[in-house]
Structure 1
Amino acid sequence: MSNQIPWGLWIVVDLSSIALGGCAFIFGAIVYLLKIKRFEKVGRLAVLIGFLGYSTAGMVLLFDLGQPLRFWRPVVFWQPHSLLWEITMCVVLYLTVLLAELLPVIVEHPVFVEHPWIERFPFVKKVADALQSFSHWLHKLGPLFAVVGLTLSLLHQASLGATYGVLSGRGLAFSPTAPVLFVLSAGTGGTSLLFLMSVIVFRIMRPGLVKDSVLYEIARIAGGFALLCIYIRLWDWAVVNYYSFNTEISLQTELLNSTSFYSATFWIGQVFFALIPGFVLLNAPRIKNIRILSLAAIMPILCTILLRWSYNFAGVMASITYDPYTPTVVLNTYTPTWQEWAVAIGVISYWLLGFSLAARFLPFQQVEKFHLPAE
């Protein structure tokens, strides 16, 4: 990273992990607000994915901001006119909401109920009983958490896009529809990742816990989000390239195409990676092939990551100088350093480790005294 490229690999990991955790607010609303109880077990998995995604983003930001010991300052020193301050507050509050939604799932583990130490040590028993009571109280507040989580998620997802929606003089970096696209891409990538992780948890690790028909419905939701996102994305591309009077945009595009596959990554990575899999996922109840649907779900996830990558780098790789009289387009270069790769690999490893342990040990249904047979 440099003064010319202030945002690099870390911010892409940050934005992508937040986008891929978007399934939490969607299925929180489905389970608690729409009262569709057949998604309750999947909703618990969505909360887990959301918590891992947002905690991953927080870990990246501790490195990206350069002052990890000052993480508390935005909470104390308010900057209400700053989009990034509003995003920070929403992320901090929403991470708290996700933790409150995840805690009852953790406390339902048998170690908090049947461990020998609970009966052997009175203090441990009191702590376990207090945790059970507190988690039960949090579970009753589920609808409230769903409303708060939905509000906070829509606010900061749209505000992340609004960061680019105010850059009216920066050519490709300017996109008035970015707030809508960031919300829809979070729905696309988040629900696609949820379907993929649901296949791993409920078809491979715990078969029979969730019916295949529920998985097909998740795939349909992901497909609907993907097609809606690509529709808005194509309109955004048309507005930027054909209805804009900014002459620097064509020059920026030509420079990017001369050194990279900028246009190809748009049409292949951001259009076809969402268009074709979107139709496949939308017809999941007819296809009824988990392998094909899982392969199709990978594409919108990559599309979401490419979309965030494109927004971050298109405007800074071919940037416009700040000369008010004769602005010119300057082509910059960027190669992540080993420190950037080390942090990115480290936080992704945290996500994978956390999901593996949670999928192995956490109960995704109310604790029962019988074993559900496999279908």
Structure 2
Amino acid sequence: MTAAKIVINEIKGYHRFIKFMMVLVGLGALASLVRFIFGLGVTTNLNDTYPWGLWISFDVVTAVPLAAGAFTIGIVAHVFHIKKLEPLVRPAIVTGFLGYSLVCVGLLLDLGQPQRGINVLRYWNIHSPMFEVSMCVMAYTTVLTLEFLHPVAEKFGWHLPLRLLRTLELPFAILAAMISTLHQSTLGTFFLIAVDKLHSLWYNPLLPLQFWLSAIFTGLSIVIFEASLVHKYMGQPDETDLLATLTRIIPWIMGVYLLVKFFALAFLTHGPLFDRPVLLALFVLEIGLGVLTPFCMYLTKKIKTDKKLQLRAASLVIFGLVLNRFNVSMFGMEQPGNMIYAPSLIESLVTIGIIAAHILFFVLIAKYFPVFEHHPETVDYSIPDRMRRIDHGTKHPAGSEAGA
């Protein structure tokens, strides 16, 4: 049987949901091609008043903190030596790797002249937040790629790279935290220049700190969300006991975030807060349903053992983060009397395709690579220094099935 027939037969065996994701990715790729052929002006609803739209608001400003689970769980497991959380690290790294890779795709789509994107490396503007974010995103994507090579090396039985990657786990975790702290906060710095444009409900000098704190507790919630879904829909082990540890950490960070948020509103905000009812309703929804409600849920004892409650709390945190980033980057920027921005069909198809690609690639990577088999009690760290394929009769570093 030829390789093409094997691939076709493999695809035929996929679940209908995965096939549907493939269709959405195809539509997103086609919409991206149309954007590159005809340009931003024809294919998007961007204008001089709103030069940033859906691709920045979601594909970058929102997607970056949604991929923060990789550095947050890496710090908790490796730097603070909570080794029992090790099984949660690798899926989070895959999520982060895919998230940042697709963020780069979104950035290329949003550039008017994407072929000039390389100029950020040629002409350094060290005073620009965009330069700092660009460099950090590239650096962190590189770190995530190297971390993602860990299951790849296990899959193909590459001894020497695997030994090296295991040695670098702690340095990678520290480096990831440093880089992520820089660009997660600097995403908030972007909007400090919008003094007269961003509404007072969100504009304040502590916006970078709020962006960083919200990325941390959302990243940990993403780990809970992801672990709950892969257990439910992919038949992976129930990690409720491990997730209970995260439910004890998250409310502390959320509490600090709320203190900073209300302090900024009370003492650092200049301008009317209640002049626009729609924006006030969005703010109340963001804080009430997206922060305060899950904060109270995380404080309950029941959440330590109730997997459904864990999933609900994590889902509300993710909802609150998404709404916050849209409030800051889009809704809060709307000016009375000006044209209202609404994404075009091409913009929407591209974003839907990016979301579908994240889901599709995660499932396929989990299917063909040892992502969920990395439990400390099953890992053999006695790896020879030679670089050669691991024989099928040899114990695999991530268990007997990982090298199959």
- The answer, yes or no, to whether TM exceeds 0.5 is yes
Q: Greater shift after overlay, 227-236 or 289-298?
A: 227-236
Q: Match of 1:368?
A: 399
Does 2:185 align with 1:158?
yes
Aligned counterparts of 1:275 and 1:284: Cα–Cα separation in 2: 17
Q: Determine helix, strand or coil for the equivalent of 2:330.
A: helix
The one of 58, 63, 68 aligned to 1:17: 63
* 1:284–1:59 Cα change, 3 Å: farther
The one of 21, 44, 55 aligned to 2:90: 44
Does 2:263 align with 1:263?
no
The one of 292, 316, 319 aligned to 1:299: 316
* Letter of the 1:6 counterpart: P
Q: Match of 2:8?
A: none
* 1:178–1:79 Cα change, 3 Å: same
Identity, in percent, stands at: 28
Q: Which structure features the higher share of helix residues?
A: 1
- Quote the offset at 1:340 in angstroms: 0.9
Q: Match of 1:338?
A: 345
Q: Greater shift after overlay, 59-68 or 309-318?
A: 309-318
* 1:332–1:234 Cα change, 3 Å: farther
The one of 255, 275, 284 aligned to 2:292: 275
Gaps of 5+ in 1: 114-128, 319-328
Does 2:246 align with 1:218?
yes
Aligned counterparts of 2:50 and 2:301: Cα–Cα separation in 1: 42
Q: Greater shift after overlay, 161-170 or 6-15?
A: 161-170
Aligned counterparts of 1:361 and 1:296: Cα–Cα separation in 2: 30
Q: Which has the higher contact order (CA 8 A, sep 6+)?
A: 2
Conservation of the 8 A alpha-carbon contact between 1:49 and 1:194: no
Q: Match of 1:181?
A: 210
* Letter of the 2:353 counterpart: G
Aligned counterparts of 2:299 and 2:358: Cα–Cα separation in 1: 28
Q: Greater shift after overlay, 282-291 or 63-72?
A: 282-291
Q: Greater shift after overlay, 220-229 or 150-159?
A: 220-229
Q: Determine helix, strand or coil for the equivalent of 1:333.
A: coil
Runs ≥4 residues deviating over 6 A: none
Does 2:259 align with 1:234?
no
- Quote the offset at 1:167 in angstroms: 4.0
Q: How does 1:1-375 map to 2 (within 5 A)?
A: 1-13=46-58, 14-109=60-155, 112-113=156-157, 129=158, 132-170=159-197, 172=199, 174-202=203-231, 205-208=234-237, 211-239=239-267, 244=270, 246=271, 249=272, 254=275, 256-257=276-277, 261-283=278-300, 288-318=305-335, 330-363=337-370, 364=372, 365=374, 366=379, 367-369=398-400
- Cα RMSD (Å) of the superposition? 2.3
Aligned counterparts of 2:136 and 2:170: Cα–Cα separation in 1: 18
* 1:92–1:287 Cα change, 3 Å: closer
Q: Determine helix, strand or coil for the equivalent of 1:81.
A: coil
Aligned counterparts of 1:93 and 1:61: Cα–Cα separation in 2: 15
TM-score w.r.t. the length of structure 1 is: 0.81
